[in-house]
Amino acid sequence: MNNNRLAQLRAAMKEKELDGLLVTHIPHVRYLSGFSGSAGQLLVTRRAAWFITDFRYQEQAAAELRNGFKAIITKTPYETIAEKKLIQEGMKVGFQDGYMTVAALGALRKKFRKAKFAATGGMVTQTTIVKTPEEVSAIRKAADIAARVYQEILGIVKPGMRENEVAMEISYLGKKFGSEGDAFDIIVASGPRGALPHGRASTKKIKSGELVTLDFGCIHQGFNSDMTRTFAVGKPTPLARKIYDIVLNAEQAGVKAARAGMTGKELDDVCRNIITDAGYGEQFGHSTGHGLGIEVHEQPSVSFRAEKQRMPEGAVVTIEPGIYLPDQLGVRIEDDVLLTATGCTVLTSSPRELIIV
């Protein structure tokens, strides 16, 4: 499996006439080399592959590196690369412009004045879009852990509990059930705070009669899940029920329509049209979804802007429409789906009907 990743990357390098590629984005370092630590970079050439880190990660590198990556342990990466002549005069070397700092690029250019450096944009990201069966299993496992957390959390949330207490429980339960960590900062947004699409858990106390939106994900073997559910604490208002039903209809229509070969915009339209027809188009201000895998947000984008790229079979995307009424409430429902030739497989197993706790 991992050999394919490097072979795919080398094919992309060849196309761009790159002799080497520096990979500095940590999720991509893990994806390609197997190293799961937090510091290190890769130098991939047409024939060789090096992992460069410092002494803190020596043992971990020896245990984790796969696919022919050789470890270089150094305090001064660029000097060591120069000494070992891994980047030489005339070589064209790609760098990850979305992730490398201006300072690092300046230092690199200064050190290797006779090499050429080229921005590679999403070159590595492109290779991560189509998932192998093993990668899908890892995402499914991460989604299963999240579903278990959600089931437990419904029995824990009570009026008077603070949003950040709920977030701590989610984080704790995730790890207890096998998650490697929180996929991202947990969102717990209750009552009027539900109108903030990215309302991180605050010290606000949850009141009876409010909706609560939870958005969180778990991690398995470096692969992420991402789910959102909105539920009611005590009896919801008629408005809350109405908004919930519209969002649920939109979300389910998206799941029904999703399949490989669509553009992100076509799928976005399915959800957006339902919300717009119900009169709340202006209150759905974000994209319908995003690719999911080694990163929580990756390609393909399920967006009104994604008009050209057709989503391939084997991509995993989220479907997460929402409606946000400022100072009142918000509802979002999010599932992870695997795109297939004929439709999609839903990886998120939690119930979708409005639950009242």
Residues 64 to 103 in contact with Zn ion, rule: CB under 5 A: none
Residue 31: which of 154, 132, 145, 178 has the closest Cα? 132
* Beta strand 289-291 pairing with 298-302: antiparallel
Residue 138: which of 311, 349, 347 has the closest Cα? 347
Shortest Å distance, C-beta 111 to Zn ion: 39
Using CA atoms, how far residue 226 sits from 7, 10, 58, 196, in Å, is 29, 30, 32, 18
| Closer residue to Zn ion (CB): 81 or 271 | 271
Q: Which stretch binds Zn ion (CB under 5 A): 63-71, 108-116, 227-235, 236-244?
A: 227-235
Q: Which stretch binds Zn ion (CB under 5 A): 76-84, 154-162, 228-236, 309-317?
A: 228-236
Establish if 335 lies at the interface with Zn ion (CB under 5 A): no
| Closer residue to Zn ion (CB): 86 or 129 | 129
Shortest Å distance, C-beta 215 to Zn ion: 4
Residue 94 in contact with residue 123, Cβ under 8 Å?
yes
| Closer residue to Zn ion (CB): 135 or 334 | 334
Contacting residue, 163, 226, 268, 295, with Zn ion by CB under 5 A: 226
| Closer residue to Zn ion (CB): 41 or 318 | 318
Q: Which stretch binds Zn ion (CB under 5 A): 6-14, 24-32, 237-245, 331-339?
A: 331-339
Establish if 215 lies at the interface with Zn ion (CB under 5 A): yes
How many CB atoms neighbour CB 346 within 10 A? 15
Q: How far apart are CA 329 and CA 240, in angstroms?
A: 7
Instruction: State the DSSP string of 289-308.
Output: EEE-SSSSSEEEEESTT--S
| Closer residue to Zn ion (CB): 67 or 303 | 303
Shortest Å distance, C-beta 217 to Zn ion: 6
Q: Which stretch binds Zn ion (CB under 5 A): 3-11, 97-105, 215-223, 280-288?
A: 215-223
Q: How far apart are CA 338 and CA 328, in angstroms?
A: 34
Shortest Å distance, C-beta 290 to Zn ion: 6
Q: How far apart are CA 172 and CA 227, in angstroms?
A: 17
| Closer residue to Zn ion (CB): 94 or 291 | 291
Establish if 318 lies at the interface with Zn ion (CB under 5 A): yes
Amino acid identity of 99?
Y
Shortest Å distance, C-beta 337 to Zn ion: 12
| Closer residue to Zn ion (CB): 33 or 169 | 169
Residue 354 in contact with residue 244, Cβ under 8 Å?
yes
Shortest Å distance, C-beta 354 to Zn ion: 19
Shortest Å distance, C-beta 87 to Zn ion: 38
Q: How far apart are CA 187 and CA 208, in angstroms?
A: 19
| Closer residue to Zn ion (CB): 41 or 287 | 287
Q: Which stretch binds Zn ion (CB under 5 A): 15-23, 105-113, 141-149, 214-222?
A: 214-222
Residue 190 in contact with residue 331, Cβ under 8 Å?
no
Site size toward Zn ion, by CB under 5 A: 5
* Beta strand 227-233 pairing with 316-319: unpaired
Residue 267: which of 291, 240, 231 has the closest Cα? 291
Q: What residue ranges bind Zn ion (CB under 5 A)?
A: 215, 226, 228, 318, 334
